[in-house]
Structure 1
Amino acid sequence: MSTSRWHQPYFGLKGKWLTFWITLACATDMTLFGYDQGVFSGVVISEDYLDVHKLNGPENTSILSIITSIYTIGCFFGAITAFYIGENIGRKKTVLVGTGIMTIGAILQASSFSVPHMIVARIVTGIGNGINTATAPVWQTETSKVHNRGKLVMLEMGLNIFGFSLSNWVNYGMSFVGGPLGWRFPLALQLVFCIVLFSTIPWLPESPRWLLAHDRETEAHSILADLEDKPLDDPYVIAERDEIVYSIEYERENAINWGDLLRGRTKAGTKTIRRLVLGSGTQAMQQFGGINAIMSYYLPTVLIESVKLDSSMARLIAACASVAYLVASLIAAPLVEKVGRRVMMMVSTVIQLFCFLLVTILLSFAEKPDFLHKVEMAKASVVWFVIYYMGFGLGMLGIPWLYPTEINSLPMRTKGAAVATMTNWITNFIVVEVTPIGIQKLGWKFYIIWTITNTLFLPIIWLFYPETANRTLEDLDAFYRDNPPLILHKDRDSTQVRRPERFIQAQGRDIEEAAENLRRRGSILVHDVSDEGEKSLNSPK
């Protein structure tokens, strides 16, 4: 690399390489998110942690539950923070703020010596994570091309599971070390991800859509050209910029404040409330699908309490299950554009429903005192916990983070993603708070709840959720300007995976118009130059 390249914007990187580095930063953020969610599952069963914080004994189940779940309350308030600052300071700076807060939280967790200390640490870490998870997917979506937008966000969620899997293996390995290092080192390891984020984000480009929304047209135009690896005067770049500007102006003319939104007073053509509900609804379905009843925080606990395994075997199975989870999430990345969001969410939900149904049946037999094969039944349920992970990883893991960044309009994108993230964390809190108590009080009947919720979600997805694969973000704005039906399973433009022909034709017309404008501009310039030359030749010497 030449010396001069170091002085160019983004070190001279353009096109795919520039997208790669943005994806690396966002993926690191999501890997940290996964690691942070998974690491505490090993902490809560560490003897030294329980001794230091005086949490031994079944009478402390509620306090343990509060310490674990309070993190999600921090994430909820972090999402609210992103809601207020995200549109003002931009995507990049917002993620840097969140990373700074997470750094403080990681240090506080690793140095904890009391319950209040750990509660504060969990809240601080949660605030930082809530800010980042509300913002990073938006930044990725707004800097990606239409054909790989979903793939990249799903890949990030796959790396989120890599972080989760890594935390499980670290927990398993450190369980042999024991003592303070056994739980403090896994918590401190979060700082490595923070260092990577601080090293990459500052030199990467801001979202061009955010820049255009804040009247920084020259900078946005330059970034659009760099992301496409095309010259500034390329018709495709100009048409893309003009289409984004049109959507921004349309939304501004039809903008409504939050007071009117809460009262249901909206203007025709934007469908703001419907889009907010659809985006946040995916996050509610993700959490009430039961993932955090058995995954991030409590799988070792579930295996110890419900399946009656010892601590070491529970950690090992949790670590192995996380690998299967990771594989499924990586398989989902290339499928999301080919199969579409709707089908993948429905397939994922069917698998979750089937797994919870079988877990419920098997554990009901396992808890019968007079049943001869209850140990075998309990162990058989472990297979369906693992298959549940894989089913969740195929769709309901990543799409709820992708969908809100696509379905909301540009002026509402940060707010819509923040509302969806807030929905995720408040429903996450409910699930995490009730799970240890539910397992303790209800036993196998606790899993009936998640069987029912997954059954209810299937018709909701089929009837109300439009396909967003292979559409530009501006296509989706045009889709809602045309007032689509609320129940849309029979509307082909709403459900087909392939990009609707009307959007392809509209984009073609925009590119032709931009090219024609460039030709006219060029001919005018040539005409002016010719006139100047003729005047110069005819002027007296």
Structure 2
Amino acid sequence: MSLFGYDQGVFSGVVITQDYLDVHDLNGPEKTNVLSIITSIYTIGCFLGALLAFSIGEKLGRRKTIVIGTVIIAIGAILQTSSFSVPHMLVARIVTGVGNGINTATAPVWQTETSKLHNRGKLVLVELGMNIFGFMLSNWVNGLSYVGGPLGWRLPLAIQLVFCAGLFGTVPWLPESPRWLLAHGREDEAVLILADLEDKSVDDPVVVAERHAIVFSIEHERKHAIRWRDLLRGRASAGTNTVRRLLLGAGTQAFQQLGGINVLSYYLPTLLIKSVHLPEKMARLISALASVSYFFASSIAALTVEKFGRRTMMLISTLIQLVCFILVTVLFYLTEKPGYPFQTEVAKASVVWFFIYYIGFGLGMLGIPWLYPTEINSLPMRTKGAAAATMTNWLTNFLVVEITPIGIQNLGWRFYVIWAVFNFAMLPIIWAFFPETANRSLEDLDAYYRENPPLLVIKDKDATSVSRPQRFATAHSRDIEEAKATGLNKRSVQEDPSKILSSGEQEK
């Protein structure tokens, strides 16, 4: 994920480096459209990579898929570093994007499937924190432009290969997802990994119960599986709520991009130069400092995501983003108002709200949209669901990255109204429709959707509570007790959590 963050941030410095503009003949406002296309075409490659991920990811497994994605990124990095023309750079950006799309669709799924329920969110957000570490590093590396010449942009692009080398040296030795192994009939390997993850023996009741819960979820989903052609035609059988879960996961990724993050991630130096009227060196320095606050906010999110839950952190994050864009809009309006005596001062005052925006985004909407699709989708749909969510991310990302330079140039302060409106609209949707996934096992969520819950979640305490619903905790404990007493793999009570209530009523 550090490589992903580095890739996102490094081009913000490249596009304002004079030698890069000279070599590729991109000087002047009439070349703004071409600059936008070169920057945004990377996200089209990421979309294609995510599309490829769900066709190969379920066949090859999480580990091999990451290795393939990294090979493609390395090829793209070499092509970018050696670029001498616009067509050359366009091809290089697409290739790099394909590799990154594969990895970003796969890594969160792999992390989720090898994590315990009490720290799953924390670990995925630590992963996204490393994304921002890479982004922060790229912003400081972009300071190499001070030396001038080709070194100022070719070396930052070449540093991508250092991250690739790190992945090649570690990924092949990491454990495969036990859930993927069980889904593909490799039970012995899966049980060994489950035992290692729990630090218990393979015949421990906890391991036995977990294996059986995963197997039951796999079998249930396969019986109610929906083909992609049926999904696209709107044909869905009852029983698993596949389409609803798919839309919830993809929705978080769309909201992440429509919240306006990549107005800043890709173009903050450009924005500071054109809207705040800062010199290039100061714009680069402020961008680098803002990325540090971004990194610290993402670190705080990793420590709080299990305590406050996904819903609350998404709502808080979106509210902060809304306030920031409202204030930035007002300040830029005053900056552009003819005759206003404090234009320079209010333009500079906007800078603090970019810092606060990064902090707000880092607290919630940075990591949760990558975590949520891997939790909300069922096991057989998890790779496809995460890939669909990632494709949604990259399509909306392309929209944002493509229109931003043109919007800044042609709309001025009105451009920022768009992002305030999006954030305002997102708040009630998150509150009303998105169930909590914190402190629940992946099998708990499968059991929840087998009950066909209502679309609106705000009246369902089990859907909005941060703590694990008691019926799921009871079902899990019963599975362990049964495995302990019999030593056999009996079917989990999670098949129908309502039986817990029924048995309690019978006792009365």
Give the shorter-chain TM-score range: over 0.9
Which of 135, 140, 145 aligns to 1:175? It is 145
- Give the secondary structure class of the aligned counterpart of 1:340: helix
Distance (Å, rounded) in 2 between the aligned partners of 1:170 and 1:188: 11
**Structure 2 alignment gaps of length 5 or more:** 491-508
Deviation at 1:519, TM superposition (A): 8.4
Distance (Å, rounded) in 2 between the aligned partners of 1:277 and 1:395: 19
Distance (Å, rounded) in 2 between the aligned partners of 1:141 and 1:65: 35
Distance (Å, rounded) in 2 between the aligned partners of 1:37 and 1:460: 28
Distance (Å, rounded) in 2 between the aligned partners of 1:312 and 1:455: 34
Distance (Å, rounded) in 2 between the aligned partners of 1:229 and 1:289: 41
Distance 1:371 1:494, change over 3 A: same
Which residue of structure 1 aligns with residue 136 of structure 2? Answer: 165
Which residue of structure 1 aligns with residue 426 of structure 2? Answer: 457
Write out per-residue CA displacement over residues 152-192 of structure 1, whole angstroms, 9 at most, x where no aligned residue: 000111111110010000102x0221100010000000111
Distance (Å, rounded) in 2 between the aligned partners of 1:411 and 1:301: 43
Kept after mapping to 1: 8 A contact 2:145/2:151: no
Distance (Å, rounded) in 2 between the aligned partners of 1:489 and 1:213: 34
Alignment of 1:91-130 (within 5 A): 91-130=62-101
Write out per-residue CA displacement over residues 476-508 of structure 1, whole angstroms, 9 at most, x where no aligned residue: 000000111100111000000000000000001
Distance (Å, rounded) in 1 between the aligned partners of 2:225 and 2:36: 42
Match for 2:109: what amino acid? V
Distance 1:520 1:384, change over 3 A: closer
Which residue of structure 1 aligns with residue 505 of structure 2? Answer: none
Distance (Å, rounded) in 2 between the aligned partners of 1:261 and 1:73: 23
Which residue of structure 2 aligns with residue 6 of structure 1? Answer: none
Distance (Å, rounded) in 1 between the aligned partners of 2:67 and 2:98: 13
1:184 pairs with 2:160 = no
Which residue of structure 2 aligns with residue 34 of structure 1? Answer: 5
Distance (Å, rounded) in 2 between the aligned partners of 1:136 and 1:332: 19
Distance 1:520 1:278, change over 3 A: closer
Deviation at 1:263, TM superposition (A): 2.0
Which residue of structure 1 aligns with residue 295 of structure 2? Answer: 326
Which residue of structure 2 aligns with residue 511 of structure 1? Answer: 480
Which of 418, 430, 434 aligns to 2:387? It is 418
- Give the secondary structure class of the aligned counterpart of 2:44: helix
- Give the secondary structure class of the aligned counterpart of 2:115: coil
1:221 pairs with 2:191 = yes
Which residue of structure 2 aligns with residue 209 of structure 1? Answer: 179
Write out per-residue CA displacement over residues 359-384 of structure 1, whole angstroms, 9 at most, x where no aligned residue: 00000000112100000010001111
Alignment of 1:368-447 (within 5 A): 368-447=337-416
Distance 1:246 1:372, change over 3 A: same
Kept after mapping to 1: 8 A contact 2:325/2:420: yes
TM-score of the pair, normalised by structure 2 = 0.96
Deviation at 1:520, TM superposition (A): 11
Which of 276, 279, 283 aligns to 1:310? It is 279
Distance 1:519 1:68, change over 3 A: closer
Alignment of 1:39-78 (within 5 A): 39-78=10-49
Alignment of 1:331-342 (within 5 A): 331-342=300-311
Distance (Å, rounded) in 2 between the aligned partners of 1:520 and 1:211: 18
Distance (Å, rounded) in 2 between the aligned partners of 1:367 and 1:386: 22
Which residue of structure 2 aligns with residue 300 of structure 1? Answer: 269
Alignment of 1:341-380 (within 5 A): 341-380=310-349
Identity among equivalent pairs (%): 72
Match for 1:34: what amino acid? G
Which residue of structure 1 aligns with residue 503 of structure 2? Answer: none
Which residue of structure 2 aligns with residue 266 of structure 1? Answer: 236
Of structures 1 and 2, the larger Rg is shown by 1
Match for 2:108: what amino acid? P
Distance (Å, rounded) in 1 between the aligned partners of 2:461 and 2:149: 60
Distance (Å, rounded) in 2 between the aligned partners of 1:333 and 1:99: 25
Distance (Å, rounded) in 2 between the aligned partners of 1:386 and 1:203: 39
- Give the secondary structure class of the aligned counterpart of 2:150: helix
Match for 1:175: what amino acid? S
Which residue of structure 2 aligns with residue 143 of structure 1? Answer: 114
Distance (Å, rounded) in 2 between the aligned partners of 1:177 and 1:81: 40
Distance (Å, rounded) in 2 between the aligned partners of 1:162 and 1:519: 46
Distance (Å, rounded) in 2 between the aligned partners of 1:492 and 1:286: 26
1:242 pairs with 2:242 = no
Match for 1:69: what amino acid? S
Deviation at 1:253, TM superposition (A): 0.8
Distance (Å, rounded) in 1 between the aligned partners of 2:489 and 2:235: 44
- Give the secondary structure class of the aligned counterpart of 2:487: helix
Distance 1:376 1:243, change over 3 A: same
RMSD: 1.0
Kept after mapping to 1: 8 A contact 2:376/2:445: yes
- Give the secondary structure class of the aligned counterpart of 1:370: coil
Which residue of structure 1 aligns with residue 225 of structure 2? Answer: 255
Which residue of structure 2 aligns with residue 233 of structure 1? Answer: 203
Kept after mapping to 1: 8 A contact 2:54/2:383: yes
Which residue of structure 2 aligns with residue 482 of structure 1? Answer: 451
**Structure 1 alignment gaps of length 5 or more:** 1-29, 522-541
Distance (Å, rounded) in 2 between the aligned partners of 1:268 and 1:60: 52
Which residue of structure 1 aligns with residue 465 of structure 2? Answer: 496
Distance (Å, rounded) in 1 between the aligned partners of 2:488 and 2:456: 45
